[in-house]
Chain A
Amino acid sequence: MRKLLALTAIACAACGDPTEDRAVEALGGEAPGVAPGPLHRPGQPCVTCHGESGVASGEFSVAGTVYFLLREDNPAPNVQVRIKDITGDEVTTTTNEAGNFYVRTDEWRPVFPLQPSIRLGGLKKQMSTHIARAPSCADCHTSPPGPRSPGHIYIATSRAELTDAGVGP
């Protein structure tokens, strides 16, 4: 009986979700010099690993990375990220040095669709569409912009806009 239980446990452990496994594998390894943590993997779809059945510790309900400009890769720290769900429930968080932000599921479990907005100093941007179901911003917001992406999330459309607002790299 014990042997049977042990075999069952091993079999269950071996049965991962191949789609999820491939998605995790496609993300590649950590960047040199950046340890796993809040600053790692900016611009990647966080919830691929930080999901309900993900391989990382910590489950996120929404997560992403904000940059200063649409076509440049300077991460934007200290951006206030405000996300509202369809019931009107809201959460606010702030991006870290890597431009990353995340909301843990034990803090907030939104009802999709979601309407996010970001603010830095006098600059404010609201997503022109809505998030229908993807908890990782980078599921859609990849760089550069193309036929399957609006580009990454950005706080300003030009350097002049950043300068006028007194913010920026």
Chain B
Amino acid sequence: MTARLLAIGCAAIVGVWLSAACSEAASDVRIGIVSPNASEEAFGPVADFLNHRCGSLDCHGKVGRNLQIWGCEGMRLSPTDASICSRAKGGRRTTPEEHAATYRSLVGLEPVIMSSIVENGGENPELLSFVRKARGTEAHKGGALVVPGDAQDACITTWLAGQTNLKACSDAFAQPKFPPSPSP
């Protein structure tokens, strides 16, 4: 009886050791993803729009957010920069490094889904939580900020499709649009 228990115990230990050995991965292993275009030409205008619309210091311009957006309208990457765009006021425009930091945060949120969307030419962008939250179809503290098909939405979705609509990104800066005041 004792010998049988000992044999079972040994077998269990060897089993655990073998399964651990099989699942061990090197610390530098990375998963491969099909990522959207990270170039300044393709993503820079998208990042600037995101900074303007979503990256204020009280929203995604905070390091505590899952989606972190960097730039001169919100949090800065360099400790020597202030959250000011205007040079006349001692600020500096958003840098390519900040665009890259926003890119890493955004693409890293749901890399597998992002891969699938990019592989399929940008089809079904709403599979990304980021898009659903922006459209307000998923709970979002900031509410519904974009409407499918509007300039803001097109800026994001055309980038995911590999052909950033630069005019849409530029037009998207008109948002949020406040009604005119009745008096000066």
Contact = CB atoms under 8 A, between A and B. Distances in A.
A61 B178 CA distance: 19
17 contacts: A87-B179, A88-B179, A88-B180, A90-B181, A128-B85, A129-B52, A129-B73, A132-B59, A133-B141, A139-B58, A140-B57, A140-B83, A145-B83, A147-B78, A147-B81, A149-B82, A157-B89
A115 interface: yes
Nearest to A141: B57
Contacts of A86: 176, 178
B13 interface: no
A131 B57 CA distance: 9
Contact of B58 (A132, A147, A151, A157): A132
Q: Which of B57, B75, B78, B88 is most buried by chain A, counting CB atoms within 10 A of its CB?
A: B57
Nearest to B74: A129
Contacts of B83: 140, 145-150
A113 interface: yes
Main secondary structure of the interface of B (DSSP, over half): loop
Nearest to A131: B58
B180 to A, nearest CB: 8
Interface string B159-182: 000000000000000001011110
A132 B143 CA distance: 10
Given A86-B176, A146-B82, A132 B181 contact: no
How many chain A residues sit at the interface, stated as a range, is 20 to 34
A151 B82 contact: yes
Given A70-B89, A147-B76, A147-B79, A133 B58 contact: yes
Interface in B92-136: none
Contacts of A134: 57-58
Interface residues of B, number: 30
Interface of B: 52, 56-59, 73-86, 88-91, 141-142, 176, 178-181
Q: Which of A70, A86, A131, A150 is most buried by chain B, counting CB atoms within 10 A of its CB?
A: A150
B82 A129 contact: no
A88 B178 contact: yes
Interface of A: 70, 84, 86-88, 90, 113, 115, 128-134, 139-140, 145-151, 157
Contact of B142 (A88, A132, A148): A132
Given A84-B178, A130-B176, A150-B83, A139 B90 contact: no
Nearest to B77: A147
Nearest to B84: A150
A70 B82 CA distance: 12
B56 A131 contact: yes
A149 B57 contact: yes
Contacts of B52: 129
Nearest to B82: A145
A145 B90 contact: yes
Contact of A115 (B57, B90, B178): B178
Contacts of B74: 129
A141 to B, nearest CB: 9
